[in-house]
């Protein structure tokens, strides 16, 4: 109730609903990523999967922009590029795409060196890195209530993976790669926040996909991996990964950063393993234990606590400076 009242004081109802739905739908879309990756890796390597994710997203967004260009222009621009900031914008897009692509490739490699449980638990530290990078580079402060909620949510992910962790064989190199992946991924929403003051969410995801494709391609070539799937089943997996997870998921998440902080969005990402596990339970008939449900509950409670924090919601004057999506 507190959250609802506070948003009504700062926003009109239609905009509030749009951003909340953007976040929820975006998280649901992103949660399907492990499923599409699993289906894709039946035919091509993890690195080829990442490359296909980015190039298909680039082509799809290019086609969409081409179709949109044939329509009558709207009264308001889709983006508000600040004069003299084009070089900074390109630099931020290059950094964003490099971070995301490198993080995904490190994560994929870590799964070959350590257990899935270890990698997943280490990746749950991503919100901590987001808060740390925000404090170090942007001098941002988060309040105690947000820290408490984030700790509860991270603790919930540890509970989810504890049973698998106790039976896993850990590899130090894989754990280190997963930790580096989490640290890089922690900077992703912070960079999007900086880009949101310059260009639209559509342009952010397109630029990120182009850079990600260029970063991933050399590794695929060096490893001599098969570049493309060889069946309709494989193509369905990589196209779904690009459209559902990259374009819809990350695109809607970028829109939600208009209202919510990067730290809050990063914490909300901890719910994606929950949604992914439920989807795997339905699709692959994987078993969900009591520890899973306890962990799920802790994550949701933690996110709710962070939502009550002033560090989760941006002030109105910040919103007014952002471009229209």
Coil, helix or strand at residue 165 = helix
Query: How far is 190 from 231, CA to CA, in rounded Å?
Result: 38
**Nearest by Cα to 53 from 250, 258, 306:** 250
Strands (DSSP E) contained in the chain are none
The radius of gyration of the chain from alpha carbons, rounded to an integer in Å, stands at 19
For the CA atoms of 247, 74, 322, 199, the dihedral, rounded to the nearest 10 degrees, stands at 50
pLDDT tens, position by position, 47-100: 999 999 999 999 999 998 888 777 765 544 444 445 446 889 999 999 999 999
For the chain, what is the mean pLDDT?
83
The CA–CA distances, whole Å, from 10 to 128, 199, 317 equal: 28, 23, 10
Q: Is the pLDDT of residue 13 over 50?
A: no
Q: Is the pLDDT of residue 280 over 50?
A: yes
More confident residue, 163 or 242: 242
Query: How far is 282 from 185, CA to CA, in rounded Å?
Result: 28
**Sign of the C-alpha dihedral computed for residues 304, 263, 81 and 318 taken in this order:** positive
Our measurement of the distance from residue 166's CA atom to the centroid of its chain's CA atoms, rounded to an integer in Å, reads 28
Global confidence as pTM:
0.84
Residue given tokens 């990589």 in the structure block: 238
The pLDDT-based confidence of 227 (bands split at 50, 70, 90) is very high
Q: Is the pLDDT of residue 321 over 70?
A: no
The CA–CA distances, whole Å, from 27 to 14, 144, 249 equal: 20, 25, 6
Q: Is the pLDDT of residue 105 over 50?
A: yes
Phi-psi region of 199 (alpha: psi -120 to 50; beta: other; left: phi over 0): beta
pLDDT of residue 204: 94
Phi-psi region of 139 (alpha: psi -120 to 50; beta: other; left: phi over 0): left
Overall size of the chain counted in residues: 325
pLDDT of residue 68: 78
């Amino acid at each position: 109730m507190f959250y609802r009242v506070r948003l009504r004081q700062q926003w009109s109802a239609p905009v509030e609903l749009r951003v909340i739905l953007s976040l929820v739908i975006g998280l649901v879309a992103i949660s399907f990523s492990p499923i599409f990756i699993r289906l894709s890796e039946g035919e091509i390597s993890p690195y080829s999967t990442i490359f296909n994710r980015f190039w298909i997203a680039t082509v799809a967004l290019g086609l969409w922009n081409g179709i949109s260009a044939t329509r009558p222009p709207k009264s308001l621009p889709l983006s508000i590029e600040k004069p003299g900031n084009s070089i900074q914008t390109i630099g931020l897009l290059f950094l964003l795409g490099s971070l995301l692509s490198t993080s995904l490739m490190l994560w994929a490699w870590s799964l070959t060196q350590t257990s899935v449980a270890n990698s997943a638990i280490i990746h749950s530290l991503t919100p901590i890195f987001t808060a740390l990078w925000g404090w170090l580079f942007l001098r941002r402060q988060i309040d105690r209530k947000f820290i408490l909620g984030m700790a509860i949510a991270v603790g919930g992910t540890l509970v989810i993976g504890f049973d698998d962790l106790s039976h896993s064989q850990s590899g130090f190199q894989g754990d280190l790669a997963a930790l580096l992946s989490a640290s890089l991924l922690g900077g992703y929403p912070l960079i999007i926040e900086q880009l949101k003051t310059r260009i639209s969410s559509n342009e952010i995801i397109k630029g990120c996909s182009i850079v990600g494709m260029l970063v991933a391609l050399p590794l695929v070539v060096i490893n001599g991996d098969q570049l493309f799937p060889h069946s309709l089943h494989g193509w369905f997996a990589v196209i779904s990964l690009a459209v559902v997870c990259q374009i819809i998921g990350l695109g809607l998440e970028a829109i939600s950063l208009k209202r919510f902080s990067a730290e809050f969005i990063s914490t909300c990402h901890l719910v994606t393993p929950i949604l992914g596990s439920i989807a795997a339970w339905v699709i692959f008939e994987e078993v969900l234990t009591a520890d899973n449900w306890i962990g799920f509950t802790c994550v949701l409670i933690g996110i709710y606590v962070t939502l009550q924090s002033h560090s989760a919601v941006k002030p109105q004057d910040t919103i007014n400076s952002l471009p229209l999506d």
